[in-house]
Structure 1
Amino acid sequence: MSELKILKKREEIEDKYKWKVNEIFSNDDAWENAFQELKKESPSLKDFEGKLNNAENILNYLEKYIDLGIKAEIVYVYAHLKCDEDTSNSKYQAMMNKIDSYMAEFASYTAYFVPEILSLDDEFIMNIIDSNDKLKVYSFMFKDILKEKPHILSKEQEELLAQVSDCLDAPSSIHNMLTNADMKFGNIIDEDGENVELTEGNYSSFIKSKDRKVRKEAFKTLFKEYKNLENTFSTTLTSSLKNFNFGAKVRKYNSALESSLSPNDIPVEVYKNSIKTINENLKSLHKYVSLKKKLLGLDEMHMYDLYVPVIEIPKEHIEFNDGVNMVLEGLKPLGEEYLNIFKNGVENGWIDIYQNKGKRGGAYSWGGYKTMPYVLLNYNYELHDVSTLAHEMGHSIHSYYSRKEQPYIYAGYTLFCAEVASTTNEALLIHYLINKETDKKKKLYLINQELEQIRTTVFRQLMFAEFELFTHESLEKGMSLTAEDYNKAWHDLNVKYFGEDMVVDEEIDIEWARIPHFYSDFYVYQYATGYAAASAFAKSILEGKEDSVSKYIEFLKSGGSDYPIEILKKAGVDMTTSQPLEATVERFNELLDMLDKEINFN
C-alpha cells in the first residue's frame, strides 16, 4: 500500500519533514504572551493622530508602526501556519480567529496616516525628507502616496464610498453564490458507465477524459446550465463593470483601465500592447491546435477536445530528495549562491513536505519579515509535485532576498512581479527536463506540458484581457451590453484565437459567465506579463548573456522598493516593449517545432 493510501496524523510524521514554525515561537504560550503584548502596545499608534505635521512626529510614528507591524505579522503568521498544519485542530482555529479579528482593529489604529499625509503640501513633505537622513529611506513610500493625491476624495466622500463598498461588491458575491452554491448541472455518464453528478469541482477532470463522449457530454451539460441563466449573468457582469467605471470616473481617472493600473504606475500601453503583440502571434496558437488535432487523431477539433492530454505516460514515483536534486540540476544556471540558499531552505526547515490528516491542501509560500519564507507542500511523489517545489521555492527565495536586502516597508512585492520568480524556476526546470530526456514518449509529454502552460497562462489570459477591455470600453462609450453582445464577443474571440482548425461550438459562447476573474478589474493580464517576464529572464540566463544572473538576482533583491516596471527594467526586462512577450512566443514556437519533429519521427 502506498504512502498516501492511509494519511498519517500530524504527530506521526517525522519532524525532519515538517517546517520549523517553533523558530517563530517556541510554544503556544509564547505566542499568547506576544499577542497580549501586541494588544497592549498597539493603541499607542493612535497617539500620533492629528500630529503628523513635522519631521520628528512622522519619523516617530513610522518607527513605531514598523516595530508593531513586524510584531503583528509574526503573531499572525504563526497562528495561520499552525492552523494549516491541521485545520481540524480547534485550538489553532481559535488562535487564528483571534488574530484575524484583531488585525482589523490594528488597521484602524493607522487609518489616519495616509489622509493626514495627503492633507500636507507636497513640497513640505519632500523638504522634510531631504533634510532628515532617517526619513530618506521613506522617499519612495511618500512619493507613492502623493502620486494618488489627485484621485483622493474629501474625507466625507471617502467615508461614503467605504460605507457602500459592500453594496458595490454585490455583483461578485451574487456570481459566487450562483456558481458555487445554487447552480445544479445534473448527471452525466462517466468513463465507467456510472451515472454521476456533474459539478464545477469535477468538471475539470471530465473535460480531460480520454473518452470523447464523456468530455463532450460534460461540456454540453455544464454550459447548458450557464446558458439558461445568461440574462442573470449578463446583468451581474454589467453591474460589476459599471461599478468599476463609476469608481474610475469619481476618482478622476480617464478610464477604469487607468484606475486599475495607476497605483502600480503601470502605463496603459503595457496592457494594450500585450493584447496587440499576442494578436500578431496567433498563428502560433493556430499551429498548436492543428498539431494537437493530428496527435489526437481527430477529423474535427472541438472546444471540448482542448484539455485532453495528447499523450499519457505511466506515473513516476519520485522521492522528495530525488525531486530536490532534479530541481537543483534545473536551476544550476542561476549559480552557486542561489543553489545554496535553496539547499539551506530544504535542510533548515522552510518546507512542510508531506500530507497529513487535516492539513490544508494545495501549496504556497508565505511568511513574515522576521520569519523563514515558509513553504507548504502536499508532496505526492509525482512530476507535478517537483514542479510545484520549484515554483514555491522561487517565491520563497524571492522573499528571502527582498527581506534580507530591503527595509520592512519595501520587503513585499506586487502581483505584477510575484509570479516572475516562481515561473522563472519552472521554466528553467522544464527546459532542463526536456533537454535531458531520451525517452521519446516522455519527451513528447514534457513538451506538451510546457506548451499547455503557455497556452493557458499567456494566450488564454490575454484573450480574457481583450474581452475585459472590450466590455469596459463599450460601457464607457455609453453602449449597453446584453447577454447576446457578450456571447458574440466571446465567440468571435475564440474563433480568432484558435483558428480554422477549431470548431468553435456554440456552447462556448457563454463561457465568459463562468469566469470569476472578470469581477476583479484588469487582474488576469498579470499572469501573462509575469510569465513573459519570466520567459525573458530564463532565455537570457540559458543563453549565458553577460550579467544575466546578477541582474536577475538584483530583481529578487528589489522587493517593492520601486514600481514593478522600473524594477524589471533595471534587471534588463522592459515590459513597456513587446520583447518579453515575444520571447515567450519564441519559446512556444521552439516547442511546437520539437512537437512537430517528434510527431514526424514517430
Structure 2
Amino acid sequence: MAEIKQLPKRSDVPVELTWDLTTIFKDDRAVKTAMTQLKVGVQAVLTQQGKLQDSAQNLLKVIQDELNVQNQLEHLFVYAELKNDQDTGDNTNQGLKDQITGLVAKASAQLAWIEPEILAIPNQKLTEFQNNESELKPYEHFLAVLRLKKDHVLSAKEEAILAGASSIFGSSEKVFGILDNSDLKFPFVKNSAGQTVQLSQGMYSTLLQSTNQVVRKQAFEQLYAVYEQFRNTFAATLSGEVKVHNFNAQIRGFKDARQAAMSENAIPDAVYTNLVTEVNSHLDLLHRYVGLRKKILNLKEMHMYDLYTPITGKSPLSYTYQKAQTEAKEALQIMGDDYVSHVDEAFKNRWIDVVENQGKRSGAYSSGVYGTNPFMLLNWQDDLDNLFTLVHEMGHSMHTYYTTHNQPYQYGDYAIFVAEIASTTNENILTSYLLDKYDDPQIKLYVLNHYLDDFKGTVYRQTQFAEFEQFIHEADAKGEPLTAEMMSNYYGDLNHRYYGDAVINDDQIKSEWTRIPHFYYNFYVYQYATGFAAASSLANGITTHQAHARENYLNYLKSGSSDFPLNVMKKAGVDMTRKAYLEDAFAVFEKRLNEFESLL
C-alpha cells in the first residue's frame, strides 16, 4: 500500500524549525504582566485629557506616553497573532488572540480623544509649541502626517465609539481566516510520484507545478470542490468586509473606500489608475506568453491549472531548507556584508517558522514589533519557488530590521506601499544571480520561466485582483448585493479578459475570489504590482553596479516612516507618480520573454 503523507502536528515539529517567540515575551506570566502594565499606562494617559492646548510640554508628554502605550499594544497583538498562526486550531491560542484583540479595541477607544484634541490646536499655536519646545522636533513629521487627517477625523466621542467597535468590524476577516485555515477539510490526492498526500494550501501550489497534467487537474478540481461548498458563506464574509470599508470611508468624508485607504500614505489616485491603465495596455504581452506556454507544453487545450507548471518541464533546481539558506546568502551578497550578516542572524536565531503543520496559517509573511527581531512564517516545500519565497520574506525582514535600528519608535514602521518593494527587489536580485551563475541553457530557461511567471503572478494577477476589489466596493456603494453568483460571474469575465482565448476559462476559476485573503485587507493588492515594478528598477541599478544604487537602496530600508512614502522612493531613485517605472518594468518583461523564446 502506498504511503500516505500527512501534515505533522505542531508538537511534532523540530524546535529548530520553529520561531522563538520568547524574544517578545519570555512566558505566559510575562504576557499577563504586560497586559496589566498596559492598563496602567492607558489610565496615566487618560489623566491628561483636555490639557493638550495648555502647553507644549503637555503635548509632548501625551505624544510620548501614547506612543509608549501603542508599542505595548503592538507587542501583545503581534505575539497573539503569531501564536495563533502557528496553529489556528489551538483553542488556547485562539482565546489569547480574542482576549488581546478585545484589549486593543478597549485601549484604542480610551485613547481615541488624542488625535481630535491635537487637531483642535490652532495651526499658529501648534507652530509656537514646536518652536518653543525643542523636544517636539523629532515629532515634526509625525504631527505633519496627523494634520493631513484633519478633514477626516471625527469628534473624540465618535472616534471612541469607532475604536471600541474595531473588533466587531474585524469579524468578517476573522471568520474567513478560521474557516480558510482551520475548518476547511481537504481530501487526499496523488502527487507526481504517485504518493497519496493531503491537499493543503501549500501542497496545492506545489501540485500545480507538477509536470503531470493529471496531477494538476486533480489538485485544481479537488481544491475548488471544497471552496465551492462554502461559496455563499465566503460571499457573506467578503460582503461584510466591503461594507466595513465603505462605511468607514463614508463617515470620514472620503469619496470612496479606495481614496480612504490610499490617503493613509498620502498616495495620489494617479498611482492606482496609472497601474491599471498600463497593465491593460500591455495585456498583449500576457496573451503572448500564455499562448507560448500552450504551444511549448503541446496542449490541445490549456486550462487555468496549466499556468503554473514550468514550461521547460521538471525543475533542474531543488532546494532543501538548509541548501536554500546558503543560496540565499550568496545571492544577497551583492547587498553588502552588513546586510548578509543580519540574514545569517535570521537563520541562526530562529526568526523563521519553517515547515507546514496541521492548523498552521497558509502562505508566508514577515512580521514583527519595534524592539524585537522580525519573524517569518513559511510553509516550506523543497523547490525553487520556495527559495524565492524565502528571499522575498527576507526582504521584508531586513526592511524591518534596518528601519527599527535606525529610526525612533514614531518612525519605526513603514507604509505598506513601500513594503513590497523591499521583498520584490530581493526576488529580482535572485533572478539575476541565478541567470549569471548558471550557463546550462535548461537552468536559464527554467529561471527565465520562473521570472515570467512571477511577473505574471505579481504585476498582472495582483492588478486583476485590484480591479475585482474596485468592482465589489463600487457595487456595494451602489446598494447592489454582493452575492456569490454576482461576484463569480464578474470574476470569471475579468479572468478571461486578462488571460485571453488561449486558455480555457474553467468554471472553477470563477470562485477564486473565495480563497484570496488579501481581499480583506482594504485595497492592499495593487501595491504588490506597483512594488514589483519599482523593485525591477532598483534591482537593475544594484546588479549593474550603478553609482550610489546600493547606498540609496539601503537608505530607503533605513527610512521607515520618517518621510512620505513617495518621497522615500524618490530619494531611492524611483518616481512612482509617473508611468516611466511601469513602462521600464514591462520592457524588462518583454526583453526576458524574447530571451526565453530565443533560448527555446
Q: Does the CA-based 8 Å contact 1:7-1:356 persist in structure 2?
A: no
- Partner residue, 2:3: none
Report how far residue 574 of structure 1 moved. 1.3
**Distance across 2 between alignment mates of 1:48 and 1:176:** 38
| 209 and 370 in structure 1: CA distance in 2 versus 1, 3 angstrom threshold | closer
Report how far residue 275 of structure 1 moved. 0.3
Q: Does the CA-based 8 Å contact 2:425-2:538 persist in structure 1?
A: yes
| 181 and 147 in structure 1: CA distance in 2 versus 1, 3 angstrom threshold | same
Q: Letter of the aligned partner of 1:49 in structure 2?
A: Q
The reply on whether 1:126 has 2:127 as its aligned counterpart is yes
Q: Deviations over 1:218-276 (max 9, x none)?
A: 65676678778878876775665455334323322222221221121111111111000
- Partner residue, 2:440: 439
Deviates more, 1:371-380 or 1:119-128: 371-380
Q: What does 1:43-62 align with in structure 2 at a 5 Å threshold?
A: 43-53=43-53, 54-62=55-63
Q: Does the CA-based 8 Å contact 1:248-1:255 persist in structure 2?
A: yes
- Partner residue, 1:557: 558
**Distance across 2 between alignment mates of 1:476 and 1:8:** 43
Q: Deviations over 1:175-196 (max 9, x none)?
A: 6688778989999898799999
| 194 and 569 in structure 1: CA distance in 2 versus 1, 3 angstrom threshold | closer
Aligned partner of residue 111 in structure 1, secondary structure: coil
Q: Does the CA-based 8 Å contact 1:490-1:512 persist in structure 2?
A: yes
Q: Does the CA-based 8 Å contact 2:351-2:373 persist in structure 1?
A: no
Q: Deviations over 1:343-383 (max 9, x none)?
A: 45556x36457659999676554443333334566766654
Q: What does 1:260-339 align with in structure 2 at a 5 Å threshold?
A: 260-310=261-311, 311-313=313-315, 316-318=318-320, 320=322, 322-339=323-340
Report how far residue 438 of structure 1 moved. 2.7
| 250 and 93 in structure 1: CA distance in 2 versus 1, 3 angstrom threshold | closer
Aligned partner of residue 52 in structure 2, secondary structure: coil
Q: What does 1:411-422 align with in structure 2 at a 5 Å threshold?
A: 411-422=412-423
**Distance across 1 between alignment mates of 2:318 and 2:577:** 42
**Distance across 1 between alignment mates of 2:345 and 2:9:** 28
Q: Does the CA-based 8 Å contact 1:7-1:357 persist in structure 2?
A: yes
Q: Deviations over 1:526-564 (max 9, x none)?
A: 111222222121122223222211111111111011222
Deviates more, 1:544-553 or 1:226-235: 226-235
Q: Deviations over 1:131-155 (max 9, x none)?
A: 3211121122122222112122334
**Distance across 2 between alignment mates of 1:298 and 1:234:** 34
**Distance across 1 between alignment mates of 2:187 and 2:398:** 45
* RMSD after superposition: 4.6
Q: Letter of the aligned partner of 2:533 in structure 1?
A: A
| 542 and 104 in structure 1: CA distance in 2 versus 1, 3 angstrom threshold | same
Q: What does 1:84-103 align with in structure 2 at a 5 Å threshold?
A: 103=104
Aligned partner of residue 561 in structure 1, secondary structure: coil
**Distance across 1 between alignment mates of 2:598 and 2:376:** 39
**Distance across 1 between alignment mates of 2:558 and 2:321:** 32
- Partner residue, 2:574: 573
Q: Does the CA-based 8 Å contact 1:536-1:583 persist in structure 2?
A: yes
**Distance across 2 between alignment mates of 1:330 and 1:152:** 46
| 588 and 123 in structure 1: CA distance in 2 versus 1, 3 angstrom threshold | same
Q: What does 1:381-396 align with in structure 2 at a 5 Å threshold?
A: 382-396=383-397
Q: Deviations over 1:86-116 (max 9, x none)?
A: 9999999998887666555554553332132
Q: Deviations over 1:360-418 (max 9, x none)?
A: 67655444333333456676665445434423332222122212221111011121112
**Distance across 2 between alignment mates of 1:355 and 1:473:** 39
Q: Does the CA-based 8 Å contact 2:116-2:155 persist in structure 1?
A: no
Q: Letter of the aligned partner of 1:248 in structure 2?
A: A
Which ranges in structure 1 are unaligned for 5 or more consecutive residues?
none
Q: Letter of the aligned partner of 1:43 in structure 2?
A: Q
Q: What does 1:340-351 align with in structure 2 at a 5 Å threshold?
A: 340-343=341-344, 346=347, 349=349, 351=351
Deviates more, 1:519-528 or 1:529-538: 519-528
Q: Letter of the aligned partner of 1:312 in structure 2?
A: K
**Distance across 2 between alignment mates of 1:365 and 1:126:** 39
Aligned partner of residue 494 in structure 1, secondary structure: helix
| 181 and 579 in structure 1: CA distance in 2 versus 1, 3 angstrom threshold | same
Aligned partner of residue 264 in structure 2, secondary structure: helix
Q: Does the CA-based 8 Å contact 2:38-2:72 persist in structure 1?
A: yes
- Partner residue, 1:497: 498
Report how far residue 57 of structure 1 moved. 0.9
Which ranges in structure 2 are unaligned for 5 or more consecutive residues?
1-5
- Partner residue, 1:588: 589
**Distance across 2 between alignment mates of 1:8 and 1:188:** 22
Deviates more, 1:104-113 or 1:168-177: 168-177
Q: Letter of the aligned partner of 2:491 in structure 1?
A: W
**Distance across 2 between alignment mates of 1:102 and 1:41:** 13
Q: Does the CA-based 8 Å contact 2:302-2:502 persist in structure 1?
A: yes
Q: Deviations over 1:417-440 (max 9, x none)?
A: 122212211220122112222333
Deviates more, 1:168-177 or 1:429-438: 168-177
**Distance across 2 between alignment mates of 1:418 and 1:217:** 36
Q: Does the CA-based 8 Å contact 1:350-1:373 persist in structure 2?
A: no
| 303 and 549 in structure 1: CA distance in 2 versus 1, 3 angstrom threshold | same
Q: Does the CA-based 8 Å contact 2:13-2:357 persist in structure 1?
A: no
| 257 and 36 in structure 1: CA distance in 2 versus 1, 3 angstrom threshold | closer
Percent of aligned pairs sharing the same letter: 37
Q: Does the CA-based 8 Å contact 1:10-1:86 persist in structure 2?
A: no
| 56 and 165 in structure 1: CA distance in 2 versus 1, 3 angstrom threshold | closer
Q: Letter of the aligned partner of 1:128 in structure 2?
A: F
**Distance across 2 between alignment mates of 1:213 and 1:354:** 29
Aligned partner of residue 331 in structure 1, secondary structure: helix
**Distance across 2 between alignment mates of 1:232 and 1:29:** 38
Q: Does the CA-based 8 Å contact 1:351-1:377 persist in structure 2?
A: no
Count of residues in Structure 1 that have an aligned counterpart in Structure 2: 593
